[in-house]
Amino acid sequence: MAEKSETAAEPIIIKKYANRRLYNTAKSSYVTLEHLAEMVRSGQDFVVNDAKSGEDITRGVLAQIIFEEEAKGQTMLPSSFLRQLIRLYGDSLQGFVPGYLEASMETFARNQEAMREQVRQAFEANPALANFEALARSNMEWFENALRMFAPFATGLTPKNGPNKPPHKDVELDELKKQLAAMQEQLAKLAKDR
């Protein structure tokens, strides 16, 4: 753990003023939420403090970035997931959720490279689509099982043999296949244009 703190740079301090403007103290310039999103994507660590009180408001700003991305149409948070999350506020399991979600995202990040490799292979040779489908199906089942653990009686997340069987995964799989085919067509067009 000490090794991590020695190699990690200090987080950049961002100040948020009453007029909602964000100020990057490292660059002595005002930034937008989009700039902060780019900093996150590039791995730069930052902390957002209220300029007047000094209170750490990083979580709220990060949540605001997520919801702005969602509003742009780049949705990653299904409505059912958001509802489940809201239901867990005030629940006896609320204290376990942050650690569980953090561990889940760390696991996903570790598997992310394997998923990228599967996508790359899918574009190189079409038979690899079967592997990508299996990985996508496995990840979807893992995520549903995780949600089921926190709210086993929630609608749409009951066990597969239960009365409220979840929507057909084949529909989701077909949608993924269509998106993958469209991406393959775009790559083929780009390759021809060279």
- Taking only the tens place, the pLDDT of each residue in 32-83 is 999 999 999 999 999 999 999 999 999 999 999 998 888 888 788 888 888 8
Q: What is the pLDDT of residue 7?
A: 45
Boundaries of every domain in the chain:
1-76, 78-194
What is the residue-averaged pLDDT of the chain? 78
What does pTM read for this prediction?
0.55
DSSP for 28-69 reads TEEE-HHHHHHHHHTT--EEEEETTT--B-HHHHHHHHHHHH
**Residue spans of alpha helices (H) in the chain:** 2-7, 33-41, 58-71, 79-88, 97-124, 129-150, 169-193
| Most distant pair of Cα atoms in the chain: their distance | 59
Q: What is the pLDDT of residue 167?
A: 53
CA 134 centroid distance within chain: 20
Q: Which residues contact 29 (CB under 8 A, 6 or more apart)?
A: 23
